Amino acid sequence: MDDSVLNVGGAAHLLGVSHDTIYRLAREATIPGQKVGSQWRFSKAALFAWVQQGVPKELPASPVVVDSSYAVAPPNDQSVQERRRQADSAIGTE
């Protein structure tokens, strides 16, 4: 599978939530995703854009920090603006 398209496990890992949370958010159309047959698929770029718009209260508040290869890195002491700049740069919106 193309690494720009994620399954439920990949989306859960990227967002730092459980598989059950991804299924619930997808069924509720809270996160951008598409059901293909009986399986959900998620665009990595669409999930990054969704996170940038603001994460709903039911998800963990810890930010997702990405590097240029879209690898998820743990939060650190960087400012919110720096994390947002990194995310923008990683998806090419800067």
| pLDDT tens, residue by residue, 73-91 | 444 444 556 666 666 666 6
Q: What is the mean pLDDT of the chain?
A: 75
Secondary structure class of 41 (helix, strand, coil):
strand
Across 41-57, average pLDDT: 85
The residue ranges of DSSP E strands in 1-94, in sequence order, are: 5-6, 34-36, 39-43, 65-66, 72-73
What is the predicted pLDDT for the residue at 69? Answer: 44
What is the predicted pLDDT for the residue at 38? Answer: 92
Reported pTM = 0.56
- Domain count within the chain: 1
Helix, strand, coil shares of the chain, percent, nearest 5, are: 40, 15, 45
CB atoms within 10 A of CB 89: 13
Distinct helix (H) and strand (E) counts, the chain = 4, 5
What is the predicted pLDDT for the residue at 54? Answer: 78
